[in-house]
């Protein structure tokens, strides 16, 4: 399965740099994996814009290029006022919540959301993107 990422963000949030790291790591991680009959691509955009821009997330499936496009919405104030380690944790948590939610909107894709979510969580854990519980 192909998994690609991009960002729509303000430079002060550090989200662009995070997106670059994720794009490479997750593409390599998921390219050999299969989660069902329908082979489609996921293209996630880390969306972290100032509140005055009225940012809105979207989820849509394109039959033309067989791709699920989705925005992972991040809080601009939180991302602007934290260090890179906490930003990675925040992005990982948001992706683990929002991507499976987006996939559930398309049950006809016959996609194993549980296995995908577990693999995504494993990648974040193995690459130290999630904070350890106390």
Q: Residue 102: what pLDDT?
A: 96
Q: Are 2 and 19 in contact (CB under 8 A)?
A: no
113 pLDDT exceeds 60? Answer: yes
Q: Residue 38: what pLDDT?
A: 79
Q: How far is 122 from 119, CA to CA, in rounded Å?
A: 5
134 pLDDT exceeds 70? Answer: no
Q: Residue 115: what pLDDT?
A: 97
Count of CB atoms within 10 A of residue 70's CB? 23
Q: Residue 83: what pLDDT?
A: 93
Residue 54: band (very low, low, confident or very high) from pLDDT cuts 50, 70, 90: confident
Q: Are 77 and 52 in contact (CB under 8 A)?
A: no
Q: Residue 25: what pLDDT?
A: 95
> pLDDT tens digits, residue range 8-51?
999 999 999 999 999 999 999 999 999 988 789 999 999 999 99
Q: Residue 37: what pLDDT?
A: 80
Domain residues of the chain, as ranges?
3-126
Place of tokens 């690609």: 4
């Amino acid at each position: 399965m192909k998994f690609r990422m991009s960002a729509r963000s303000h430079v002060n949030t550090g989200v662009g740099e995070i997106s670059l790291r994720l794009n490479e790591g997750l593409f390599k991680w998921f390219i050999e994996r299969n989660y069902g009959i329908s082979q489609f691509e996921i293209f996630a955009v880390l969306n972290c814009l100032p509140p005055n821009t009225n940012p809105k997330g979207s989820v849509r499936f394109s039959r033309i290029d067989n791709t699920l496009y989705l925005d992972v919405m991040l809080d601009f104030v939180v991302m602007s006022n934290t260090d890179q380690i906490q930003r990675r944790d925040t992005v990982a948590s948001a992706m683990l919540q929002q991507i499976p939610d987006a996939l559930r909107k398309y049950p006809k894709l016959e996609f194993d959301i549980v296995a995908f979510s577990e693999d995504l969580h494993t990648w974040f854990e193995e690459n130290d993107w999630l904070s350890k519980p106390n």
